[in-house]
Amino acid sequence: MPFTKVWGNSAAVLSTAVNWLPVNVRNSAYAWTASGSGTNEYYLRTAGGANPGFAAAPDSVYANGSAVTSGTPGSLAAARWGYGDNDALGYSTIYIRLSDGADPDSKTNGWVSFYQTPRAAEHIRFPNSSFDATSGLDYSAIASGDVIFDGYAGNIGTATNYAYFDPDKFEFLALGGQAFIDIGAAAIPVQITGTGQAASGERGLYLRGSAITVANIAGGSVGIAALDGETSTITTARVLGDSTQVLIGSGCGLTTLHVYGGEVRVRSSGITTIIQYGGTIYLEGAASATTFTQYGGIAYWNSTGTIGTHNHYGGTWDETKNGAARTMTTQNLYLPGGTLLLNKEAVTRTNLPSMQQTLAITTSEA
């Protein structure tokens, strides 16, 4: 049973154990069992009698709110704790001898707790707090469980000092602050539902990852590989929500982009598929797409990149805001259609726009 480590201290150093909230091990999820050796020693198991899930010894153990001195299981003095396997359990766990020799299970909820930084397979949670994390940020060597920002309002990392995680699951909801996060090569979906409000021209969340499978962005101000020299890879990105703002940087390799709402600035080249149902898309820099299918919203083609095929079912397609030379191979115009603002001087069309007489039927893939 993996532990959940919860951030909760104003000291700002993520790698210091006491800056994380203590983990309560005197509650209904755990049971203390009398050891077969030592005097009045008890070891920790789950309530079902299983391995509690320690990846390593705690940094410190507390009883009734006071630090307990460490010792050796089997020879613990009163008010001492130890770590190991002194009962042929097949795993290591906490042993403790309370000052009165009592069974910890006879004490009130929260009587025994420990401090420890996140370890392999454990979950990491940033709760609804405003405690900043500005150093000791590299957890890339730890294969974490869930990494969840649950209404977090603090700052984490900086543009030159990202926080690194290797999670099995990543969810981000912030109510304030600014975050710089790199999830490395974790091949997982990410869910972003809100970010802090950054200063003008900046983003509330800067995210990097080299193997993101799906990025669902339903709120906030997000930059993916948005800063100079950054790289990321995403298979599918979905942008939802009228107030969502997303910047997909030139260093982001993206296969498929779905836009349902919000504002999306795309600088990535080589996108295979863009499908727009609503919102506003700005193609900037060298942004390019093999196929751009538009059912609604507004798309501004301001980039120098090539559009292979533009399928236009509705919405507004605007080429007039940039005079740079660029190429579109094929443009298919479907009924009922929308608005086309073409730039004949700057855009070279290999094939002239073709009117398709079949009414398109769209399906949502959100």
pLDDT the model gives residue 355: 75
CA 101 from centroid of its chain's CA atoms:
45
| 346 vs 327: CA distance, rounded Å | 8
The 10s digit of each residue's pLDDT in 176-228 is 999 999 999 999 999 999 999 888 889 999 999 999 999 999 999 999 999 99
**Can you give the residue range of the structural domain that contains 325?**
123-356
Same domain, 334 and 246: yes
Number of structural domains (the chain) is 2
Same domain, 84 and 152: no
- Of 115, 149, 176, which residue sits at a domain end? 115
Same domain, 127 and 191: yes
| 235 vs 239: CA distance, rounded Å | 14
Same domain, 136 and 259: yes
- Is residue 282 situated within a structural domain? yes
Asked if residue 216 lies in contact with residue 365, where contact means CB atoms within 8 angstroms, the answer is no
State yes or no: pLDDT of 337 exceeds 90. Answer: no
Tokens standing for residue 260 = 């349902």
Beta-sheet pairing, 60-63 with 66-70: antiparallel
DSSP-derived secondary structure letter, 364: -
CA-to-CA dists, residue 7 to 138, 142, 165, angstroms: 15, 16, 14
Same domain, 168 and 255: yes
Per the prediction, the chain carries an average pLDDT of 94
- Is residue 239 situated within a structural domain? yes
State yes or no: pLDDT of 365 exceeds 80. Answer: no
- Of 59, 90, 115, which residue sits at a domain end? 115
- Is residue 158 situated within a structural domain? yes
| 275 vs 91: CA distance, rounded Å | 52
Same domain, 204 and 89: no
For residues 59 and 357, the model is more confident at: 59
Same domain, 167 and 302: yes
- Of 70, 88, 115, which residue sits at a domain end? 115
Same domain, 137 and 213: yes
Same domain, 60 and 193: no
- Is residue 11 situated within a structural domain? no
Lowest mean pLDDT among 63-72, 90-99, 331-340: 331-340
